[in-house]
Amino acid sequence: MTVPDPTDFSAAWVAAWNAHDLDAVLALFAADVVFASPLAARIVPGSGGVLRGKAALRAYWTEGLRLLPHLHLTVEQVFAGVDALVIVYRNERGGVVNEVLVFADGLVVEGHGTYPADDTSGAVSDLR
């Protein structure tokens, strides 16, 4: 397996997020994507932090943007693996977050939002 060009993908990803354009963000993901995040566990009750499919991601991210209307991300670094990219970015609060994205056929099929274990930025703990 191969990943998309890391620079091009991360530029499209961050542009879509900073425009709050969920259709553009979701276009990067496969229909049957599985996405896990401790933030999802807080925003989507009963999910255990694991979301399945684009409809679930849309609902989660719609609520996330409602709770964070000033969301703005800055990509700091991108790592490439055989079938994965890791995007290291700062959020609007200055917190460092990693997005681990696994690809198949050019689309994200699995994603993991990861946060510092001590969560000093409040990225997860400040919501709900």
CATH code, domain carrying 19: 3.10.450.50
Domain that holds residue 97: 6-112
Number of separate domains in the chain: 1
Query: What is the pLDDT, as a whole number, of residue 30?
Result: 97
> Which residues have a Cβ under 8 Å from the Cβ of 6 and sit 6 or more positions away?
78, 79, 80, 85
Whether pLDDT at 127 is above 80: no
The answer to the question of residue 38 being in a domain is: yes
The answer to the question of residue 77 being in a domain is: yes
* H or E, element range at 96: strand 96-104
Closest by CA position to 3, among listed 37, 28, 22:
28
In this predicted model, what pLDDT tens digit does every residue of 55-92 receive, in sequence order?
A: 999 999 999 999 999 999 999 999 999 999 999 999 99
* Mean pLDDT taken over the chain: 92
Q: Tell me the average pLDDT across 91-105.
A: 94
If one compares 99 and 93, the residue with the highest pLDDT of the two is 99
Whether pLDDT at 46 is above 70: yes
Query: What is the pLDDT, as a whole number, of residue 6?
Result: 97
The answer to the question of residue 120 being in a domain is: no
Specify the pTM.
0.90
Residue 106 burial (CB < 10 Å; 0-12/13-18/19+)?
A: exposed
